[in-house]
Amino acid sequence: MKQIWLMICAAFLLLVACTVPGATPSAASPAPPAASAAPAPTPDPASSQAQETLGPLEPGVVQEPAALLAALDGCVSFGEGEAGSSLKSAIAAAGLVDWAEDNARASDIDAAGELIRAWLEDLDPERQSLFWANWPVVDGRASLMVEDLAGQLPLLEDAGSPQRHDAYTPACYERLRCAVEQIAEADA
């Protein structure tokens, strides 16, 4: 099942609008995958091929790495069942989709995966577990924001309207999701 997910992810990366210059936000995105605990990604040739379709990028460059790390910090700012966890997961999801919308096109996704892996390794084991426990919820909310932002606006308004865009490109978030899922799959 995990290999199938990687193949689907790789195929999606090759076909997505995010890799085509001038891509616009859309309302289609696959359902969120199940997560497992892990660090240590392996390079994905499919994401490298998708990266090549973008044109010349500086290898190993992640646009706005501090913003990505701040968005990831939002994923470990709450625990399941805590007061406000629904709002905090919406805020974390908004941070991820905003970073992806602004930066995924111009970022080397393999390098983003390495940055995420290093961030995870710097966390204590409890916070690493918290990230992987929260990932399905945050990823699910992010996917819903990409697919149907209007349907998520009531929750986002309750969370203080943390989103910066009126629409999101599914392919951009998918690139970030694949970077995280590579880490999860590498340890499974």
pLDDT at 66: 96
| Identity of residue 9 | C
Of the candidates 115, 155, 154, 121, the one whose C-alpha atom is nearest the C-alpha of residue 138 is 155
pLDDT at 81: 85
pLDDT at 60: 82
* Domain locations in the chain as residue ranges: 2-55+62-187
pLDDT at 187: 74
**Ranges of residues in the chain whose predicted pLDDT is under 70:** 1-58
pLDDT at 59: 72
pLDDT at 14: 36
Can you tell me the distance from the alpha carbon of 20 to that of 34, in angstroms, rounded to the nearest whole number? 28
pLDDT at 58: 66
pLDDT at 36: 37
- Pair 137, 89: CB distance under 8 Å: yes
pLDDT at 80: 86
What are the start-end ranges of the H helices in the chain? 2-15, 45-52, 65-74, 85-103, 109-122, 125-147, 149-158, 170-187
